[in-house]
Copies of this chain bind each other. A is one copy, B any other.
Amino acid sequence: MEIQTQSISVSTPARQEFFDITDEVLRVVAESGLAEGLVQAFTPHTSCCVLIQEESEDITYYGTQLLLQDTLNVFAKIAPPARHEGQYLHPGPIHIKNAAELRGEHPSWGLNTDGHIISSIVGRSESIPVVEGAPVLGEFGRVYFGDLDSVRARERTVLLTVVGR
């Protein structure tokens, strides 16, 4: 039985953005020598997500795939971007006080409520079958890591786990 987890880092900007991590997924499966099983991409960050989508070729001025920008636009309808306190219940006063005193965070860094909500709806991982040594992603399928926290640039982590033989 083969089971292992590797970690990759992604530098993200101060806006909601997706990153194509398919090549890393393929690399981890190849290096593990997995023939049959599953590969999971998971992010531990509570304002991030992982999803699978078609490569849609055209891009925005920022280099974002049009289909992923459409997806961000739908996210913004579901949970409008947090622009000031009081728009959502979160962040509350205890959270803001602790963030400042214990972690030196500016109150405005708590304005990522929309990212947290969308993250929990979309989900933190995708698990893909591996058949004859390759993840089954279809002709155009790509694995994307999304950072939905638009408040500040961050260094983020994605865990890639293979299970099988």
Measured CB to CB, the residues of A under 8 A from B are: 1, 3-5, 36-38, 40, 42, 44-47, 51-54, 56-58, 60, 65-67, 69-71, 73-74, 77-79, 88-95, 98, 113, 116-117, 119-129, 131, 136-138, 140-141, 159, 161, 163-165
Q: Are B3 and A113 in contact (CB under 8 A)?
A: no
- What are the 7 tightest A-B residue pairs by CB atom distance, in nearest-first order? A58-B92, A44-B138, A46-B54, A66-B89, A67-B90, A66-B90, A51-B120
Q: Are B165 and A3 in contact (CB under 8 A)?
A: yes
Can you tell how many copies of this chain the complex includes?
3
Residue of B nearest to A70 (CB): B88
From B5, B70, B113, give the contact of A129 (CB < 8 A): B5
In the bound complex, residues from chain B placing their C-beta under 8 Å from that of A58 are 89-95
Contact flag A37-B3 (CB < 8 Å), given A66-B89, A95-B57 = yes
Contact flag A69-B92 (CB < 8 Å), given A123-B126, A159-B136 = no
In the assembled complex, the CB of A63 is this many whole angstroms from the nearest CB of chain B, namely 13
Interface majority SS on A: helix, strand, loop or mixed?
mixed
In the bound complex, residues from chain B placing their C-beta under 8 Å from that of A73 are 89
How far, in angstroms, from A47 to B71 measured CA to CA in the complex?
13
In the assembled complex, the CB of A139 is this many whole angstroms from the nearest CB of chain B, namely 9
In the bound complex, residues from chain B placing their C-beta under 8 Å from that of A88 are 66, 70
In the bound complex, residues from chain B placing their C-beta under 8 Å from that of A121 are 51, 71, 74, 121-122
From B74, B117, B128, B131, give the contact of A117 (CB < 8 A): B74
